[in-house]
Structure 1
Amino acid sequence: MAFIHNGKIDWWYQRCPKDSTTHTVSRPGYTFILGGLLLMLALYPVLKTLSIQLHSALTGSYVAGHHSVILINCPNEQVAKDISRSLMERRMAACVNILPRSATMYYWKGEIQDATEVLLLVRTRTSKIQSLTEYVRSIHPYENPEVLSFLVEGGSLDYMKWIDEAVPENPYIPS
Protein backbone atom coordinates (compact mmCIF):
# COMPACT_ATOMS: atom_id res chain seq x y z
CA MET A 1 0.00 0.00 0.00
CA ALA A 2 1.34 3.43 -0.89
CA PHE A 3 1.32 6.37 1.48
CA ILE A 4 1.55 9.98 0.45
CA HIS A 5 3.72 12.22 2.67
CA ASN A 6 4.52 15.80 1.72
CA GLY A 7 3.11 15.20 -1.80
CA LYS A 8 5.43 12.20 -2.42
CA ILE A 9 4.52 8.56 -2.87
CA ASP A 10 6.54 6.40 -0.45
CA TRP A 11 6.48 3.17 -2.48
CA TRP A 12 7.87 4.95 -5.53
CA TYR A 13 10.77 6.38 -3.59
CA GLN A 14 11.45 3.05 -1.94
CA ARG A 15 11.72 1.20 -5.26
CA CYS A 16 13.62 3.80 -7.27
CA PRO A 17 17.11 5.03 -6.63
CA LYS A 18 17.22 8.58 -5.36
CA ASP A 19 19.00 9.84 -8.51
CA SER A 20 16.20 8.72 -10.85
CA THR A 21 13.46 10.46 -8.84
CA THR A 22 15.24 13.77 -8.51
CA HIS A 23 15.62 14.33 -12.26
CA THR A 24 12.51 15.94 -13.65
CA VAL A 25 11.57 17.54 -16.91
CA SER A 26 10.95 21.24 -16.55
CA ARG A 27 7.61 22.83 -17.39
CA PRO A 28 8.98 24.32 -20.62
CA GLY A 29 10.27 20.82 -21.52
CA TYR A 30 6.79 19.33 -21.08
CA THR A 31 5.29 22.19 -23.09
CA PHE A 32 7.80 21.58 -25.89
CA ILE A 33 7.09 17.83 -25.96
CA LEU A 34 3.31 18.34 -25.86
CA GLY A 35 3.50 21.03 -28.56
CA GLY A 36 5.58 18.74 -30.76
CA LEU A 37 3.06 15.90 -30.41
CA LEU A 38 0.14 18.21 -31.21
CA LEU A 39 1.96 19.59 -34.25
CA MET A 40 2.64 16.06 -35.53
CA LEU A 41 -1.02 15.12 -35.08
CA ALA A 42 -2.17 18.27 -36.87
CA LEU A 43 0.22 17.71 -39.77
CA TYR A 44 -0.40 13.95 -40.06
CA PRO A 45 -2.75 14.15 -43.11
CA VAL A 46 -0.32 16.42 -44.96
CA LEU A 47 2.70 14.30 -44.04
CA LYS A 48 0.89 11.11 -45.07
CA THR A 49 -0.06 12.56 -48.46
CA LEU A 50 3.49 13.82 -49.06
CA SER A 51 5.03 10.48 -48.09
CA ILE A 52 2.70 8.60 -50.45
CA GLN A 53 3.54 10.95 -53.32
CA LEU A 54 7.25 10.74 -52.56
CA HIS A 55 7.17 6.93 -52.37
CA SER A 56 5.23 6.72 -55.62
CA ALA A 57 7.58 9.17 -57.39
CA LEU A 58 10.78 7.49 -56.19
CA THR A 59 9.76 3.88 -56.74
CA GLY A 60 7.38 4.31 -59.68
CA SER A 61 4.92 2.10 -57.83
CA TYR A 62 1.46 2.47 -56.36
CA VAL A 63 0.71 2.56 -52.63
CA ALA A 64 -2.29 0.29 -52.08
CA GLY A 65 -5.32 1.93 -50.52
CA HIS A 66 -4.64 5.51 -51.64
CA HIS A 67 -7.67 5.35 -53.96
CA SER A 68 -11.11 3.81 -53.56
CA VAL A 69 -14.10 2.70 -55.60
CA ILE A 70 -17.50 3.56 -54.13
CA LEU A 71 -20.88 1.97 -54.91
CA ILE A 72 -24.02 4.08 -54.55
CA ASN A 73 -27.51 2.82 -55.44
CA CYS A 74 -30.09 5.31 -56.70
CA PRO A 75 -33.85 4.92 -57.26
CA ASN A 76 -33.73 6.09 -60.90
CA GLU A 77 -31.48 7.42 -63.63
CA GLN A 78 -32.27 11.10 -63.01
CA VAL A 79 -31.25 10.90 -59.34
CA ALA A 80 -28.12 8.99 -60.40
CA LYS A 81 -27.20 11.71 -62.90
CA ASP A 82 -27.88 14.50 -60.39
CA ILE A 83 -25.72 12.90 -57.69
CA SER A 84 -22.96 12.10 -60.21
CA ARG A 85 -22.85 15.64 -61.58
CA SER A 86 -22.84 17.11 -58.09
CA LEU A 87 -19.91 14.90 -57.02
CA MET A 88 -17.98 15.83 -60.16
CA GLU A 89 -18.63 19.58 -59.75
CA ARG A 90 -17.36 19.43 -56.17
CA ARG A 91 -14.23 17.54 -57.33
CA MET A 92 -15.06 14.64 -54.99
CA ALA A 93 -14.92 12.08 -57.81
CA ALA A 94 -12.63 11.60 -60.80
CA CYS A 95 -15.13 9.45 -62.67
CA VAL A 96 -18.63 8.09 -62.14
CA ASN A 97 -20.15 5.25 -64.15
CA ILE A 98 -23.94 5.09 -64.19
CA LEU A 99 -24.80 1.43 -64.63
CA PRO A 100 -28.23 0.50 -66.03
CA ARG A 101 -31.20 -0.50 -63.96
CA SER A 102 -30.93 -3.74 -62.06
CA ALA A 103 -33.38 -5.74 -59.99
CA THR A 104 -32.74 -5.39 -56.27
CA MET A 105 -34.10 -7.29 -53.29
CA TYR A 106 -33.40 -6.15 -49.73
CA TYR A 107 -34.76 -6.14 -46.19
CA TRP A 108 -36.25 -2.85 -45.09
CA LYS A 109 -38.18 -2.36 -41.86
CA GLY A 110 -38.67 -6.10 -41.40
CA GLU A 111 -39.96 -6.87 -44.90
CA ILE A 112 -38.43 -8.02 -48.16
CA GLN A 113 -38.51 -5.25 -50.74
CA ASP A 114 -38.33 -5.75 -54.51
CA ALA A 115 -37.22 -2.76 -56.61
CA THR A 116 -35.12 -1.57 -59.53
CA GLU A 117 -32.16 0.71 -58.94
CA VAL A 118 -29.36 2.42 -60.85
CA LEU A 119 -25.82 1.81 -59.58
CA LEU A 120 -23.10 4.46 -59.44
CA LEU A 121 -19.48 3.32 -59.60
CA VAL A 122 -17.36 6.20 -58.25
CA ARG A 123 -13.55 6.53 -58.33
CA THR A 124 -11.92 8.85 -55.81
CA ARG A 125 -9.17 9.32 -53.24
CA THR A 126 -9.59 7.27 -50.08
CA SER A 127 -9.16 10.47 -48.06
CA LYS A 128 -12.43 11.76 -49.58
CA ILE A 129 -14.65 8.84 -48.49
CA GLN A 130 -15.97 10.43 -45.29
CA SER A 131 -16.85 13.80 -46.83
CA LEU A 132 -18.27 12.12 -49.95
CA THR A 133 -20.44 9.81 -47.82
CA GLU A 134 -21.75 12.69 -45.72
CA TYR A 135 -22.52 14.72 -48.84
CA VAL A 136 -24.34 11.84 -50.56
CA ARG A 137 -26.41 11.24 -47.41
CA SER A 138 -27.40 14.93 -47.41
CA ILE A 139 -28.71 14.93 -51.02
CA HIS A 140 -29.87 11.33 -51.55
CA PRO A 141 -33.63 10.68 -51.52
CA TYR A 142 -33.27 7.41 -49.56
CA GLU A 143 -33.52 7.51 -45.78
CA ASN A 144 -30.46 5.26 -45.57
CA PRO A 145 -28.58 5.33 -48.90
CA GLU A 146 -26.08 2.65 -49.82
CA VAL A 147 -22.56 4.05 -49.90
CA LEU A 148 -19.96 1.27 -49.89
CA SER A 149 -16.26 1.83 -50.46
CA PHE A 150 -13.53 -0.57 -51.55
CA LEU A 151 -9.81 0.17 -51.44
CA VAL A 152 -7.92 -0.05 -54.71
CA GLU A 153 -5.01 -2.44 -54.27
CA GLY A 154 -3.33 -1.80 -57.59
CA GLY A 155 -3.77 -0.76 -61.19
CA SER A 156 -2.40 1.56 -63.82
CA LEU A 157 -0.09 4.13 -62.21
CA ASP A 158 -1.00 6.68 -64.89
CA TYR A 159 -4.70 6.19 -64.11
CA MET A 160 -4.06 6.66 -60.38
CA LYS A 161 -2.15 9.87 -61.07
CA TRP A 162 -5.10 11.06 -63.15
CA ILE A 163 -7.46 10.43 -60.21
CA ASP A 164 -5.16 12.53 -58.00
CA GLU A 165 -5.23 15.36 -60.55
CA ALA A 166 -9.02 15.16 -60.98
CA VAL A 167 -9.69 14.98 -57.22
CA PRO A 168 -7.29 17.40 -55.53
CA GLU A 169 -6.76 17.08 -51.78
CA ASN A 170 -8.17 20.58 -51.13
CA PRO A 171 -10.22 21.61 -54.17
CA TYR A 172 -11.70 25.00 -54.88
CA ILE A 173 -15.45 24.57 -54.85
CA PRO A 174 -17.36 27.24 -56.78
CA SER A 175 -20.38 28.70 -54.99
Structure 2
Amino acid sequence: MSSTVPRSGSVVFCLVLVMTLALYPVLKLLVVQIHSVITGQYVAGRHSVLLINCPTEQIAKDIGRSLMEKRMAACVNLFPRTSTMYYWKGEIRDASEILLLVRTTTSLVQRIVTFVNSVHPYEIPEIISFPIEDGSPRYLKWIEEAVSNI
Protein backbone atom coordinates (compact mmCIF):
# COMPACT_ATOMS: atom_id res chain seq x y z
CA MET A 1 0.00 0.00 0.00
CA SER A 2 1.52 3.36 -1.02
CA SER A 3 1.39 6.36 1.23
CA THR A 4 0.32 9.82 0.04
CA VAL A 5 2.22 11.53 2.84
CA PRO A 6 5.82 12.34 1.83
CA ARG A 7 8.59 10.85 3.90
CA SER A 8 10.24 13.18 6.36
CA GLY A 9 13.63 12.68 4.65
CA SER A 10 12.22 13.94 1.36
CA VAL A 11 10.69 16.96 3.03
CA VAL A 12 13.98 17.83 4.74
CA PHE A 13 15.88 17.38 1.48
CA CYS A 14 13.45 19.65 -0.37
CA LEU A 15 13.65 22.31 2.36
CA VAL A 16 17.45 22.23 2.31
CA LEU A 17 17.46 22.46 -1.49
CA VAL A 18 15.04 25.41 -1.52
CA MET A 19 16.98 27.25 1.22
CA THR A 20 20.29 26.65 -0.58
CA LEU A 21 18.91 28.01 -3.85
CA ALA A 22 17.32 30.99 -2.10
CA LEU A 23 20.49 31.84 -0.18
CA TYR A 24 22.95 31.05 -3.00
CA PRO A 25 23.71 34.69 -3.94
CA VAL A 26 24.40 35.62 -0.31
CA LEU A 27 26.46 32.48 0.31
CA LYS A 28 28.47 33.02 -2.89
CA LEU A 29 29.22 36.64 -1.95
CA LEU A 30 30.29 35.58 1.52
CA VAL A 31 32.62 32.86 0.20
CA VAL A 32 34.13 35.25 -2.37
CA GLN A 33 34.74 37.91 0.29
CA ILE A 34 36.33 35.39 2.65
CA HIS A 35 38.55 34.14 -0.19
CA SER A 36 39.57 37.72 -0.99
CA VAL A 37 40.45 38.46 2.65
CA ILE A 38 42.43 35.24 3.08
CA THR A 39 44.35 35.38 -0.21
CA GLY A 40 44.55 39.15 -0.63
CA GLN A 41 43.45 38.74 -4.26
CA TYR A 42 41.01 41.07 -5.98
CA VAL A 43 37.64 39.61 -6.85
CA ALA A 44 36.88 40.54 -10.46
CA GLY A 45 33.65 42.43 -10.96
CA ARG A 46 33.30 43.75 -7.41
CA HIS A 47 33.64 47.34 -8.68
CA SER A 48 32.17 48.94 -11.79
CA VAL A 49 32.54 51.90 -14.11
CA LEU A 50 29.40 53.51 -15.52
CA LEU A 51 28.97 55.73 -18.57
CA ILE A 52 26.09 58.19 -18.40
CA ASN A 53 25.32 60.73 -21.11
CA CYS A 54 23.83 64.14 -20.34
CA PRO A 55 22.56 66.93 -22.60
CA THR A 56 24.32 69.80 -20.78
CA GLU A 57 27.26 70.36 -18.49
CA GLN A 58 24.97 71.64 -15.72
CA ILE A 59 22.80 68.51 -15.80
CA ALA A 60 25.95 66.35 -15.78
CA LYS A 61 27.32 68.28 -12.77
CA ASP A 62 24.00 68.01 -10.95
CA ILE A 63 23.75 64.26 -11.49
CA GLY A 64 27.43 63.72 -10.65
CA ARG A 65 27.21 65.80 -7.48
CA SER A 66 24.03 64.00 -6.38
CA LEU A 67 25.72 60.63 -6.86
CA MET A 68 28.65 61.84 -4.77
CA GLU A 69 26.46 63.34 -2.04
CA LYS A 70 24.42 60.14 -1.82
CA ARG A 71 27.72 58.20 -1.53
CA MET A 72 26.77 56.07 -4.53
CA ALA A 73 29.95 57.04 -6.40
CA ALA A 74 33.55 57.32 -5.29
CA CYS A 75 34.52 59.47 -8.26
CA VAL A 76 32.83 61.11 -11.24
CA ASN A 77 34.59 62.55 -14.30
CA LEU A 78 32.85 64.85 -16.78
CA PHE A 79 34.04 64.63 -20.36
CA PRO A 80 33.04 67.87 -22.03
CA ARG A 81 31.22 68.13 -25.32
CA THR A 82 31.34 64.79 -27.02
CA SER A 83 29.79 64.57 -30.48
CA THR A 84 27.08 61.96 -30.66
CA MET A 85 25.20 60.32 -33.51
CA TYR A 86 22.30 58.02 -32.70
CA TYR A 87 19.06 56.58 -34.00
CA TRP A 88 15.96 58.05 -32.44
CA LYS A 89 12.42 57.45 -33.63
CA GLY A 90 13.53 56.21 -37.02
CA GLU A 91 16.07 58.84 -37.92
CA ILE A 92 19.75 59.57 -37.39
CA ARG A 93 20.36 62.51 -35.09
CA ASP A 94 23.46 64.50 -34.18
CA ALA A 95 23.97 66.05 -30.78
CA SER A 96 26.55 67.34 -28.38
CA GLU A 97 26.58 65.69 -24.97
CA ILE A 98 28.55 65.53 -21.75
CA LEU A 99 29.72 62.06 -20.69
CA LEU A 100 29.94 61.06 -17.03
CA LEU A 101 32.42 58.37 -16.02
CA VAL A 102 31.38 57.00 -12.63
CA ARG A 103 33.33 54.62 -10.36
CA THR A 104 31.44 52.63 -7.76
CA THR A 105 30.86 49.17 -6.36
CA THR A 106 28.90 46.76 -8.52
CA SER A 107 26.37 46.32 -5.73
CA LEU A 108 25.33 49.97 -6.20
CA VAL A 109 24.88 49.91 -9.99
CA GLN A 110 21.12 49.28 -9.96
CA ARG A 111 20.56 52.00 -7.35
CA ILE A 112 22.47 54.41 -9.58
CA VAL A 113 20.44 53.36 -12.64
CA THR A 114 17.19 53.90 -10.74
CA PHE A 115 18.32 57.28 -9.42
CA VAL A 116 19.62 58.56 -12.77
CA ASN A 117 16.45 57.46 -14.56
CA SER A 118 14.40 59.40 -11.98
CA VAL A 119 16.26 62.72 -12.50
CA HIS A 120 17.55 62.57 -16.07
CA PRO A 121 15.76 64.68 -18.70
CA TYR A 122 16.15 62.11 -21.49
CA GLU A 123 13.35 59.63 -22.10
CA ILE A 124 15.99 56.87 -22.34
CA PRO A 125 19.32 58.02 -20.93
CA GLU A 126 22.45 56.07 -21.69
CA ILE A 127 23.47 54.30 -18.49
CA ILE A 128 25.95 51.50 -19.14
CA SER A 129 28.08 49.70 -16.58
CA PHE A 130 31.26 47.71 -17.00
CA PRO A 131 32.64 45.50 -14.25
CA ILE A 132 36.25 46.18 -13.31
CA GLU A 133 38.25 43.01 -13.86
CA ASP A 134 41.40 44.15 -12.10
CA GLY A 135 43.29 47.25 -11.07
CA SER A 136 45.33 48.95 -8.40
CA PRO A 137 44.36 47.28 -5.10
CA ARG A 138 44.76 50.57 -3.20
CA TYR A 139 42.50 52.43 -5.65
CA LEU A 140 39.83 49.72 -5.60
CA LYS A 141 39.93 49.68 -1.79
CA TRP A 142 39.50 53.47 -1.86
CA ILE A 143 36.38 53.09 -4.04
CA GLU A 144 34.98 50.63 -1.51
CA GLU A 145 35.68 52.98 1.40
CA ALA A 146 34.30 56.04 -0.39
CA VAL A 147 30.87 54.48 -0.88
CA SER A 148 30.78 52.38 2.30
CA ASN A 149 28.84 54.82 4.46
CA ILE A 150 25.49 54.22 2.80
In the alignment, is residue 102 of structure 1 matched against residue 82 of structure 2? yes
For the residues of structure 1 that align with 2:121 and 2:50, how far apart are their CA atoms? 18
* 1:120, distance to aligned residue in structure 2 (A): 0.3
Structure 2, gaps ≥5 residues long? none
Q: Which residue, out of 142, 147, 157, partners 2:127?
A: 147
For the residues of structure 2 that align with 1:38 and 1:89, how far apart are their CA atoms? 40
Structure 1, gaps ≥5 residues long? 1-5, 9-20
Give the AA of the match of 1:81: K
Give the AA of the match of 1:132: I
In the alignment, is residue 163 of structure 1 matched against residue 143 of structure 2? yes
Q: Which has the larger radius of gyration?
A: 1
Report the TM-score when normalising by structure 2: 0.85
State the percentage of identical aligned residues.
61
For the residues of structure 2 that align with 1:35 and 1:151, how far apart are their CA atoms? 34
For the residues of structure 1 that align with 2:50 and 2:96, how far apart are their CA atoms? 19
Give the AA of the match of 1:58: I
- The residue matched to 1:144 in structure 2 has which SS? coil
In the alignment, is residue 119 of structure 1 matched against residue 119 of structure 2? no
For the residues of structure 2 that align with 1:38 and 1:91, how far apart are their CA atoms? 35
* 1:34, distance to aligned residue in structure 2 (A): 4.9
Give the root-mean-square deviation of aligned CA atoms.
2.7
- The residue matched to 1:78 in structure 2 has which SS? helix
The alpha-carbon distance between structure 1 residues 29 and 131, as it changes in their structure 2 partners (threshold 3 A), is same
* 1:114, distance to aligned residue in structure 2 (A): 0.9
* 1:44, distance to aligned residue in structure 2 (A): 4.1
Q: Which residue of structure 2 lines up, in the alignment, with residue 135 of structure 1?
A: 115
1:19-30 alignment runs, 5 A limit: 25-26=7-8, 30=11
Report the TM-score when normalising by structure 1: 0.74
Number of aligned residue pairs: give it.
150
For the residues of structure 2 that align with 1:89 and 1:42, how far apart are their CA atoms? 34
